[in-house]
Every structure is written in C-alpha cells, then in structure tokens.
Amino acid sequence: MKSLHINSKAKQQGAATILVALILMMIMAIMTLTISRTGMLEQQLVGNDIRAREAQEAAEAGLEYAIAWGTENPIASSMTCTSANETDCPTFAQVTGSTSSEAYNYTLTFTKGADAIKVTSVSQGATDTTISATSETWIKQIADSLFGDGDTMPEPWVIAGCITSAPTGNPGTFILGSSHNAVVSGTSSNAACLPQGHLDVTNWTDTNGDGVKDSGEEGASAPFNTGLFSGCPATDCAWDYAFKMSLVDAKQKATDAGHVYGGSIPCGPSGSPGIYIINNGGPINSGDISGSCSGTGVDNATIGEPGKPIVLIVPTSAGCPKFNGGVTIYGIVYYESTTACASQGWGGATVYGSVIWEGDVDKPNANTEFIEVDHGSGSSLNDVFQMSIDDATRIPGTWKDF
C-alpha cells in the first residue's frame, strides 16, 4: 500500500501567502479610510477657510458701507444697527457668499466719542453662527456748521434795532441765570432803545432736564439785563451775530431739503437740517400747523421738540407774520425784514430759544413767553439742530490702516 505524502513546507508557504494578503488588504483598507478621512477633513478645512474669508470680506464690505453712510447722515449718539433696520440706522440686508452660498448677517455699531466715532462691522453666518468676522475703524464726521466753535444759543430777544414801544400786558422772559441778558441789540443797550415796560424777567431751572419749563421750575424775579452786539447796521447783522453759516447758505440748505412751507407747517421735529423757510404772511395759528405729534412738551401745535429745535427763517417777502398764542416753538425764529416788524410785535406764541429781528420790533402780545435754553456750544449745537453731514473721514491708526 502506498501512503499519502503531504509536503508541510508547501502548506506553510500557502498560509503565509494568505496571511500576507490579508495584511495587505487590511493596510489598503486602513489607507483608504485614512485617505477618505483626510480628504473629508481637507474639504471641511477648505470650506471653513472659504466661509471665514467670505465672512471677513462681508465685514469689510459692511464697514465700507457704514463709512459711506456716515458721510451723509449725522450720527448724534452711539447706536447698534442690524438687518432689522432700526430707526435712524442705515438700511441693509443679508448677503450671500458667491462660493459657499452661506448667508451672512451684519451688525454695525457706531460708538460716539468726544471727537470721533468708532465704527465696528461684524458679520456672522446665518446658518453656521460659529463663522464670524469683525472689522473696525474710527471716523470723524465733518458737519455743515450753522454755529461756529464756541457759539451758544442766542439770547431770548436779539434785535438789530430797538423795541419801538414799551411792552404791556406782562409778557414773560425766562432766563437761566440772573446775570444773563434777556435782550440784546445791535443799536443800543440803553432804556431808550430797549424799554422794559411790563416785560417780566424770571429765573428758571430745568430741574429734570427735559427741556420744558415745568410747574415748580420757575424761580425768583431777575433783573432786566440788556446787551449790545457789534456789526450793525449792516446787511444780515443780527443773523451774523447768532450764526456762522451765511443766511444765503442756510436758505439754500432748507430749500434743498424741501423745508419750505407756506400755508401749512409740520408739527414736531424736522429731518436734517433743522432749518425751515416760512413763506406765510400770517398770522400763524395752531390751525396752520399740520400733523399729529405728541411727547414731552409736544402736541399738534408744536414746531420742533426739546431735543430737536428748528430755525424758522421768515424771508423779507413774507413780512412779519405773528405766531399767535397756542403755538409752541422749540428753536429760533428769524425775521429777515428790516422794516416789517417795527409796527407789529410778537403774537403770543411760546418760544424755547430765541427770536431774532433784523430791524426794529414792536411790543409783544400779553402772556407771551420767551424762554432761554442751553444746548451746549459749537458741534453740540450743530448736532441738536441736525445739521447735515458734509463728509466723513477715516482716522488712520487702526489695524485696518496698516
């Protein structure tokens, strides 16, 4: 009988081959998984890099838009603006990246300092909120200057000429300090030119800071202080005493803004700039004021508001219209005519600010109130009168400028 002979060496070689093949297959599988994972990771990194770059570009674009908006719009106080388009903010919407198709939301923050404004633009992914970027810089707004540096609100009465007849009926002038002038003239400060008559002068203090003379804020009687300013007689001398901007330029600003009114004057505050031209020969009563307005010290017969006064320019062609009782004005009323008011005084409206006459003026009606106010000086005064922005310049020094 023949016996079966098995070659053990051949068996060992076959097993080794299978083992090596299995090891190679495992290595290949691991390599495939590793390569796949690496590819996915690289793809994710590339995607993140694209979105990060898009977010930074969006933030930069938002910053440039904010600066461009600031070249034309006054920024009176610090504010944060989003795509919800809050009041007084620039209008903008989501943007979408051209590569990733990710949508980005903006937040623009304007932080007002003493002399400059910090502008911060933040973009954030609408879907992936972990993707965000920030860009910032400082700008300085250059406003049209209605008032010069150091200028303050003019006195309650500013007259190029004189008061032609002594006041009767106890009209009142309220001043913020006993040493303040109630009336100033470009002609003379003596009693012959500026007779007090029955004009009451009283101190008042804006205790709660709301810009309105509330009950209990009137103080003791004050002396009838008068003053003399230089420059008269000359064309527009009373205007030039109070303002830096020329009368011609102020009229043009009002005209360009559409702030020229004849039969109807809107109630409440104005848009920028706070200058109106009043082409109404008067008398001007509460019925000549249109719209629905409310707020502290404000109703439907109010022009301006405590924090947003208005300059009302009455040109020579409109004469000397009276603003009658029942009307309240926050701001400055200016009469250009050098002759029309000499025989016609103020009609009885309450004025928080000043009335300026380019000639003589007759006595005011009884119960009139001329109330001195303080809106600061220079740029602060220009801000409250909402003077339009002429330009805005970037201030070098932030990281973005290097």
- DSSP state string for 55-120: HHHHHHHHHHHHHHHHTTS---S-EEEETT--TTSPP---EE-TTT--EEEEEEEEEE-SS-EEEE
- Asked if residue 18 is part of any domain, the answer here is no
Give the total number of structural domains in the chain: 2
Q: What is the pLDDT of residue 13?
A: 63
- Asked if residue 180 is part of any domain, the answer here is yes
From first to last of the 402 residues of the chain, give the pLDDT tens digit: 455 555 555 556 666 677 777 777 777 767 766 665 655 555 554 445 676 787 788 888 888 888 888 888 878 778 888 877 777 788 877 777 666 667 788 888 989 887 788 999 898 887 777 788 888 888 888 778 899 989 999 999 999 999 999 998 889 999 999 999 999 999 999 999 999 999 999 999 999 999 999 989 999 999 999 999 999 999 999 999 999 999 999 999 999 999 999 989 999 999 889 999 999 998 999 999 999 999 999 999 999 999 999 999 999 999 999 999 999 999 999 999 999 999 988 888 999 999 999 999 999 988 899 999 999 998 889 989 988 777 788 887 655 544
Residues β-bridged to residue 356: 158, 334
User: Structural domain of residue 246, as residue ranges?
Assistant: 157-209+217-385
Q: What is the pLDDT of residue 85?
A: 72
Contacts of 172 (CB under 8 A, 6+ apart): 199, 200, 201, 202, 367, 368, 369, 370
- Asked if residue 2 is part of any domain, the answer here is no
Integer Rg of the chain from CA: 36
- Asked if residue 20 is part of any domain, the answer here is no
Q: What is the pLDDT of residue 401?
A: 43
Lookup result for tokens 């796949």 = 36
- Asked if residue 265 is part of any domain, the answer here is yes
Q: What is the pLDDT of residue 387?
A: 87
- Asked if residue 349 is part of any domain, the answer here is yes
Q: What is the pLDDT of residue 32?
A: 67
User: Rounded to an integer, what distance in angstroms lies between the CA atom of residue 76 and that of residue 92?
Assistant: 20
Residue 154: cis peptide before it, omega within 30 degrees of 0: no
Residue 304 and residue 169 share a domain? yes
Q: In which element (H, E) is residue 356 found? A: strand 350-357
Q: How far apart are the first and last CA of the chain?
A: 100
- The region that residue 69 occupies, defined by phi over 0 for left and psi between -120 and 50 for alpha, beta otherwise, is alpha
Residue 249 and residue 347 share a domain? yes
Residue 259 and residue 285 share a domain? yes
Q: In which element (H, E) is residue 49 found? A: helix 8-70
Residue 273 and residue 179 share a domain? yes
Residue 173 and residue 91 share a domain? no
For 260, the token pair is 């020229």
Q: What is the pLDDT of residue 2?
A: 53
Residue 192 and residue 82 share a domain? no
Residue 283: cis peptide before it, omega within 30 degrees of 0: yes
8 A C-beta contact, residue 363 and residue 197: yes
Residue 133 and residue 161 share a domain? no
Residue 131 and residue 178 share a domain? no
Q: What is the pLDDT of residue 402?
A: 40
The dihedrals phi and psi of 239, each to the nearest 5 degrees, come to: -60, -50
Strand ranges in 153-274 using DSSP code E only, listed in sequence order: 157-159, 172-175, 183-185, 200-204, 218-221, 226-228, 260-261, 265-266
The dihedrals phi and psi of 139, each to the nearest 5 degrees, come to: -130, 160
DSSP 238-254: HHHHH-SS-HHHHHHHH
DSSP state of 386: T
Residue 172 and residue 119 share a domain? no
Q: What is the pLDDT of residue 342?
A: 94
- Asked if residue 39 is part of any domain, the answer here is no
Residue 232 and residue 355 share a domain? yes
- The region that residue 78 occupies, defined by phi over 0 for left and psi between -120 and 50 for alpha, beta otherwise, is beta
- Asked if residue 353 is part of any domain, the answer here is yes
Q: What is the pLDDT of residue 45?
A: 47
User: Rounded to an integer, what distance in angstroms lies between the CA atom of residue 325 and that of residue 304?
Assistant: 16
Residue 343 and residue 289 share a domain? yes
Residue 192 and residue 119 share a domain? no
User: Would you call 139 exposed, middle or buried from its count of C-beta atoms within 10 A (0-12, 13-18, 19+)?
Assistant: buried
DSSP state of 348: B
